[in-house]
Amino acid sequence: MVMTLGDGFSRRKQVSSELDTWINRLRLAGRDSIRYQTEQIEGENKFKPIPGSVKDYKRNYTIQECNEKIQQLIEEDRKLALRISLTNQKAKSTMIDLKGKEVTLTIPELLVLKNDIAPKLENAARGIPIKAKGVDVMETTDEYIKWRTIYPLYKTKQSLSEQGHKIEEEYIDYYNVEEIMDYGFEERKVFDDIDKLHAWMHRIKEAINQANKAELINLE
């Protein structure tokens, strides 16, 4: 029966689960036991079971049976791992890269892109500053826009009315002004680049799925 890379990965998961099962069975394979209730532990009727209280527990597998099965599964897993490793180095898939160029990559190369490179590129894309909108632009060049913020600081002064009542009056003491040279990118461009990156990441996953259809190399 032909086995693909994807089949190999699935079978290794099954083998891992079966190994856990047989190791648990091995732990229970070391003894049989009988449980019962008795009225005396000394004398003529010592350890005589009370009728109906006896429970006999027999092991389902011998230690040898468990060990043999465990060794078979370990050997199968070893061969599968080796076949997967050898196939990974030869199985290839074609995809369109970020520059729009068609490239052919091996599975290790695709996994490096998926697990290492793509997350870093996405973090970098999300870190690009976005140009402010809805601000008072003072100057515009090809590299930046210049805008400023103005924040008044208020003080309160007290005085007396003609009737002798205390009056508090608030006035602007000074302004805090910040002039900003904004080198950020247009919001649309940043979002378009992130979308382009996500489409590329999806193509990587599709390429890996396609490569996983490669037939596993047989060991000699």
- As beta bridge partners, residue 181 has 146
Please give the helix or strand (H or E) that residue 164 lies within, else none.
none
Indicate where the chain has its CATH 1.10.287 domain(s): 1-90
Q: 184: pLDDT confidence band, cut at 50, 70 and 90?
A: very high
**44 band by pLDDT with thresholds 50, 70 and 90:** confident
User: pLDDT at residue 1 above 90?
Assistant: no
The CATH code belonging to domain 1-90 is 1.10.287
pLDDT category of residue 188 using cuts at 50, 70 and 90? very high
Summarize pLDDT for 146-183 with one digit per residue, the tens.
999 999 999 998 887 777 778 888 989 999 999 999 99
Q: What are the residues whose beta carbons fall under 8 Å from the beta carbon of 162, sequence distance 6 or more?
A: none
Give the dihedral sign, CA 204/206/208/210.
negative
Mean pLDDT of 2-27: 95
139 beta partners: 146
Summary mean pLDDT of the chain: 93
Per-residue confidence (pLDDT) for residue 93, from 0 to 100? 94
pLDDT-derived band at 7, boundaries 50, 70, 90: very high
pLDDT of residue 141: 94
Residue 59's SS3 state is: coil
Tell me the two tokens of residue 120.
């870093």
Crossing angle of helices 187-211 and 118-126, in 10° steps, is 170
